[in-house]
A = this chain, B = another copy of it.
Amino acid sequence: MYQDHVSKSGGPAPARPKAAPVPLARGREFLSIPGPTNVPDVVLQAMHRPAVDIYADELLATTGHCLETLKAVFRTEGSTYIYIANGHGAWEAALTNTLSRGDHVLVLESGRFARGWGDQGEFLGLTIEVLPGDWRKAVDPAAVEARLKADTLHTIKAILVVQIDTASGVVNDIPAIRAAIDAAGHPALFMVDGIASVGCMEYEMDRWAIDVSVTCSQKGLMMTPGLSFVAASPKAKAAHRTAGLRTAYWDWSARDLPENYRKFCGTAPEHMLFGLEASLGLLFEEGLERVWARHLGLASAVQAAVAVWAEGGALEFNVLAPAERSPAVTTILTPGFDPQRLRDFTRHNAGVVLGSGIGDLTGRAFRIAHMGYANAPMVLGTLGATEVALKTLGIPIGDGGVQAALTALQRHFGTPA
């Protein structure tokens, strides 16, 4: 090494005391958290521009284009709405536009977020019933069917579920739940939170007969936080006509009017719309199906590494069944150590920001996101830094996690040509 070299001939080498190794963190930070995800440079670039008149043709075109493209994102012929809000705002928009005080709503639990949505409904005066689930398992379609069959009077007006729970890392089988609703012959509105899934995996609003879809800008859609999106089926629009919780800001009817300012109940979020137009452009330039397949490929690498690490006994998948682990984020329980030590190490020494456990998993888990604008070396770099950190911290892990990830990617790309 050059270092020895210098020692001999030119003077002392840079001191590297054992106790405080030099960080290898300077470089682009690896933001491996499940939202906000990495914002592509072209998206940030599109937002860096002067403001325009809110009546300018360019802005009207961008707005129309975004609303149309969101239909392709949700795979729906229904109506789409853009809210200046985060996902919680979209939740509120979904509920207030379709329901009335006292309405009975069934929440399908599988982690933190369906319950959180239900809590918002309770605040609004809805009657929330939680179909009990488990942070470590997907919603059981059979249980949904059974509960709905029991509701012979069709008291339940809406069913809330997330496709991917960002906290637990569970992916729910939305078409199977749809099938369960159909099997029960139940007319409730089917509302799906695709916040951590739309733009990451298959989402088929019309084919799966979803009535209200919700997502936001800062995960699969690769934009900065600040926008959220709702899509409504004709059945949801019908419910809207008699909904008692409607408020002017979220109201679909006003937003269906032609004037541009109506579409945002006031001033349009110009810069974010220009950014959204760019990020949606990236999505369709790559091709939605290819985006989904990319997420599957990346997830296979992460899951392969974690499976090996877990052999050491200090950590394990939060989600028990492999088929229920999401292609966008992996939640890892840490029975053997304090996950904050790991997160501090990777951030400080390698510039890798891992997600923390949240909700019930606070202090008991960490999360690796593999969603949005993410490619193979980003995932491998994150896994590599994590493995080095685990080893350096003396946490017992199975050997060869990153090696297994490489093998998974090699499998993705196929046998040698």
Contacts and interface: CB of A to CB of B under 8 A. Distances in A.
Interface stretch (A64-72, A80-88, A152-160): A80-88
Contacts of A416: 391-394
Contact of A31 (B1, B53, B201, B208): B53
Interface string A369-405: 0000111111111101101100111100000101101
A35 to B, nearest CB: 7
A363 interface: no
Contacts of A5: 171, 173, 176, 323
B11 A38 contact: no
Contact of A297 (B22, B30, B171, B299): B22
Interface stretch (A185-193, A234-242, A346-354): A346-354
B202 A10 contact: yes
A95 to B, nearest CB: 9
A89 to B, nearest CB: 5
Contact of A403 (B37, B350, B402, B409): B402
Interface stretch (A103-111, A129-137, A259-267, A310-318): A259-267
- Chain B CB within 10 Å — which of A3, A327, A417 has the most? A3
Contacts of A37: 51
A156 to B, nearest CB: 21
Interface in A108-164: 119-120, 123-124
A88 B382 contact: no
A208 B16 contact: no
A29 B52 CA distance: 9
Contacts of A19: 414
B2 A249 contact: no
Number of copies: 4
Nearest to A217: B267
20 contacts: A10-B178, A10-B208, A15-B289, A16-B293, A18-B414, A22-B412, A24-B298, A26-B282, A27-B378, A36-B52, A44-B48, A51-B224, A87-B266, A88-B248, A225-B270, A376-B388, A377-B382, A388-B410, A402-B406, A403-B403
A269 interface: yes
A78 interface: no
Given A48-B45, A248-B124, A10 B402 contact: no
A294 interface: yes
B24 A297 contact: yes
Given A1-B296, A39-B51, A294-B24, A88 B265 contact: yes
Interface string A226-260: 10000000000000000000111101000000000
A333 interface: no
B413 A392 contact: yes
